Amino acid sequence: MTVHGYLDTTGHLLNIIDAHKIAWGFLPGTSSPLHIWARDYMPVQVNKEKFVRFNYSPDYLKDCPEYKPDTAAILSEHGLQVIDSDIIVDGGNVISCGNKVIMTDKIFRENPHYHHQTLIDKLSQLLEAEIVLIPEDNYDEYGHADGMVRYMGNDCVLINNYCDFDKSLRKKLLTVLSPHFDITELHYGTYSDRSWAYINFLHVGQHIFIPMLEGDKLGEVAFRQIAEAYPQCECHQIWGCDNIVNEGGALNCCTWNILEDLPKKEDIK
């Protein structure tokens, strides 16, 4: 993880992680607060032995090299071997769902040198999964999927509360996702420009860490609904997340976790 530059968030998160005996550590070479977005620049894990490092050159970081740590040094420190790809993809735009991966169609804008179908085929080969493309949220400058949808297991996904404020995007998401997944929708009954932060939780094993924001009454509603969507998990409220959310990300964005003993794809529904 890289949240050590944000003391409130780090303190709340690590207290709970330690209480549940979950192994953790800070990524080496990421002492700058600008290196907080570990999910995006670190490799995507495909299976126990396979990691894919995509080209971390998003449009929103054009001419901002200070946001990009030396991932080669980080990986060397961890002893990880990766497959490098020239495809521009942020890790926050990769939602693994068993034998499928959900991504937004921003990948086409960021990889104009690839024919669309060639790009999809290459991603499918690298990630060993069927690629399910959803439309990006035009109000999200980053174009990531992890503030829109999360996997629940058993071919089920959870989507953000678009039913409250963007019915057009909701309809498009349902059209694309329903042939592949059963869908649960968050529903708060009102609009909040920070509702994306709640679905951007950190999911580690049977634990879910949900960011909480001071003064936002939707937080408790979001927490209850996410907990109901994941009855097999223990959900935890993480306070002090306002600073990272104000910077444009939440707990999934600023962490990177590895499963050391992944089940086989065919065993995951």
Q: Please report the domains of the chain, with CATH numbers, ordered by start residue.
A: 3-267 (3.75.10.10)
Q: Which two tokens stand for residue 263?
A: 């089940």
Task: Label residue 244 exposed, middle or buried (CB < 10 Å: 0-12, 13-18, 19+).
Answer: buried
Rounded to two decimals, the pTM is: 0.93
pLDDT for 46 equals: 96
At residue 9 the predicted structure's pLDDT band, cuts being 50, 70 and 90, is: confident
The CA radius of gyration of the chain, in Å to the nearest whole number, is 17
Q: 155-194: per-residue pLDDT in tens? A: 999 999 999 999 999 999 999 999 999 999 999 998 888 9
Q: 204-237: per-residue pLDDT in tens? A: 999 999 999 998 989 999 999 999 999 999 999 9
Mean pLDDT within 125-152? 97
Phi, psi of 124 (to 5 degrees): -60, -40
pLDDT for 268 equals: 38
pLDDT for 110 equals: 97
Using DSSP's 3-state secondary structure scheme, residue 150 falls into strand
